[in-house]
Amino acid sequence: EGDVYKYYSEGEWKVSSSGKTVSIVNPTTRKTQFKVQACNQEEVNKIVESAKAAQKSWAKTPLWKRAELLHKAAAVLKEHKKPIAECLVKEIAKPAKDAVTEVVRSGDLVSYFAEEGVRILGEGKFLVSDSFPGNERTKYCLTSKIPLGVVLAIPPFNYPVNLAVSKIAPALIAGNSLVLKPPTQGAVAALHMVHCFHLAGFPKGLISCVTGKGSEIGDFLTMHPGVNYTGVAISKKAGMIPLQMELGGKDACIILEDADLDLAASNIVKGGFSYSGQRCTAVKVVLVMESVADELVKKVNETLAKLTVGPPEDDCDITPVVTESSANFIEGLVMDAKQKGAKFCQEYKRQGNLVWPLLLDNVRPDMRIAWEEPFGPVLPVIRINSVEEGIRHCNASNFGLQGCVFTRDINKAILISDAMETGTVQINSAPARGPDHFPFQGLKDSGIGSQGVSNSINMMTKIKTTVINLP
Ligand code: G3H
């Protein structure tokens, strides 16, 4: 039951000596679709050792050659978009078209990293000492960017390919090696993606992909002394090593009285319900001025009614959420809101992992859904009486990823953006990470560091200086 996949270590595909596998359940059929190797700690040790060794010579490989290989990998990845997208459909129920888009976007991102990398890493600085008070011109300082060493990447299930290459490409162009621990749901898509890097001809051990149970190898990897950079919510466990984390969000959408309500409604539906709300950047709470709330809710409901619900293979808008426990969690939030008096604009409906889209009106701050992230196709609307009330709600969240504001008054929009404690504010559009070279960062519990092409490259390097002391 379910094809069994090997893991990738030292440039080879291997079966784990544990003799065990981890099952990947198709969210739509709820049957085992694939199995991946349940690697053990000994195998992790081997991977990290080979990553360390491969990195040493990779760092000495000319930058233009590193870029050339990345361009090749990008092209191979795009050639293989179909089989990889099929895995995304089966493993994480991503609608078929969106799955292809994820792979193409990933190929483009790898190329962009290669292009920018040669510029960013091809430049250093030259400083002289006599600009600082009390100094003569007796010291010349040369700076350059050097790799960190071994980078560990642990992407989430919702973008197993894109959020993996967004770490792999900057790591490799900067001269690091990379160990990938993909999410269980999405592991086979990730293994296919890694195969594209294999086909492009990267040296053995430079990139590897270890699969298995988080409980067996997750902590072990993040605390591994051989790893020099990682990004997962375990900064305490990781200790002093540099981290980059992209975590959750409760992205607020503030609607002012002068907003274009058609524009706002279409963005709320797209932002709140694409990939069934399973995006960290999804609109997760609508804060609308009471005077335009009825009209906005009506428009959102009209657009929601057009969404198709069903299997990802049919390219439906709303597809089953990733696991049964995720569907149960969403149901828990919805029932809590119902009990406390929220108004359901649609009938709540669920079949297995498939949850029908639901807008909840008249949500109040005592309801869990006002604060928690459902990661599903259910969206709360809170009616506000002042902009300040909206900003207060947004800022009271422990998250601070993105937010958006709809108004025709650009001055107000800028002031609201300044007041919102989030890494990004979108004016007159739903939150989104892309285009992928834009800086992407979360404040508070939403993350550490800033991604984007130049930011990610910089985060995966450290500065090295050499000072020439003149006689
Ligand atoms: O889930 C988090 C992703 O980084 C969001 O990316 O805005 O392109 O869907 P996206």
Phi/psi for 11 (5° steps) reads 75, 10
Phi/psi for 208 (5° steps) reads -145, 160
| Residue 434 burial (CB count, 10 A) | 11
Is the pLDDT confidence value at 452 over 80?
yes
Alpha-carbon dihedral 9, 11, 12, 14, rounded to 10 degrees: 10
Percent of the chain with pLDDT over 90: 92
Report the C-alpha gap between 232 and 281 in whole angstroms.
17
Is the pLDDT confidence value at 321 over 50?
yes
In angstroms, what CA-CA distances link 371 with 250, 362, 382?
Answer: 7, 14, 11
168 membership: H or E segment, kind and range: helix 162-173
The ligand 1 atom nearest the CA atom of 279: 1
Question: In the prediction, which pLDDT does 349 show?
Answer: 98
**Cβ neighbours of residue 404 closer than 8 Å, sequence gap 6 or more:** 251, 252, 253, 254, 267, 271, 283, 425, 426, 427, 428, 429, 430, 431
Show the beta-strand stretches assigned E in 154-232: 177-180, 207-209
User: What average pLDDT does this structure show over 346-371?
Assistant: 98
Report the C-alpha gap between 128 and 138 in whole angstroms.
8
Residue for token pair 């560091």 = 449
User: What average pLDDT does this structure show over 133-144?
Assistant: 96
Report the C-alpha gap between 173 and 67 in whole angstroms.
6
User: Is the beta carbon of 159 within 6 A of some atom in ligand 1?
Assistant: yes
Q: What is the pTM of this model?
A: 0.94
What number is the ipTM of this complex? 0.96
Report the C-alpha gap between 284 and 268 in whole angstroms.
9
Q: How many A from CA of 282 to the centre of ligand 1?
A: 8
Question: In the prediction, which pLDDT does 233 show?
Answer: 47
pLDDT tens digits, one per residue of 165-180: 999 999 999 999 999 9
Is the pLDDT confidence value at 211 over 70?
yes
- For a pocket test of ligand 1, which of 154, 157, 281 has the largest count of ligand atoms closer than 8 A to its C-beta? 281
Report the C-alpha gap between 114 and 106 in whole angstroms.
12
pLDDT tens digits, one per residue of 258-306: 999 999 999 999 999 999 999 999 999 999 999 999 999 999 999 999 9
User: Is the beta carbon of 158 within 6 A of some atom in ligand 1?
Assistant: yes
- For a pocket test of ligand 1, which of 109, 251, 279, 422 has the largest count of ligand atoms closer than 8 A to its C-beta? 279
pLDDT tens digits, one per residue of 390-439: 999 999 999 999 999 999 999 999 999 999 999 999 999 999 999 999 99
Question: In the prediction, which pLDDT does 126 show?
Answer: 97
- For a pocket test of ligand 1, which of 106, 157, 163 has the largest count of ligand atoms closer than 8 A to its C-beta? 163
The ligand 1 atom nearest the CA atom of 275: 9
User: Is the beta carbon of 433 within 6 A of some atom in ligand 1?
Assistant: yes
Alpha-carbon dihedral 222, 160, 324, 15, rounded to 10 degrees: -70
Quote the Cα angle for 247-311-304, to 5°.
Answer: 70
Q: Is the pLDDT higher at 439 or at 1?
A: 439
Report the C-alpha gap between 70 and 60 in whole angstroms.
16
428 membership: H or E segment, kind and range: none
Q: What interhelical angle do 63-79 and 81-92 show, nearest 10?
A: 70
Is the pLDDT confidence value at 236 over 90?
no
Report the C-alpha gap between 74 and 169 in whole angstroms.
10
**Cβ neighbours of residue 360 closer than 8 Å, sequence gap 6 or more:** 334, 337, 342, 343, 344, 345, 369, 378, 379, 380, 381
pLDDT tens digits, one per residue of 183-201: 999 999 999 999 999 999 9
Q: Which residues belong to the active site?
A: 246
Task: For the chain, give the mean pLDDT.
Answer: 96
User: Is the alpha carbon torsion for 411, 286, 264, 441 positive or negative?
Assistant: positive
Range of lowest pLDDT (117-126, 164-173, 224-233): 224-233
pLDDT tens digits, one per residue of 91-107: 999 999 999 999 999 99
Question: In the prediction, which pLDDT does 225 show?
Answer: 84
User: Is the beta carbon of 281 within 6 A of some atom in ligand 1?
Assistant: yes
Question: In the prediction, which pLDDT does 227 show?
Answer: 83
Range of lowest pLDDT (155-159, 201-205, 237-241): 237-241
In angstroms, what CA-CA distances link 204 with 187, 209, 210, 230?
Answer: 21, 12, 15, 21
The ligand 1 atom nearest the CA atom of 163: 4
pLDDT tens digits, one per residue of 269-278: 999 999 999 9
Report the C-alpha gap between 202 and 217 in whole angstroms.
25
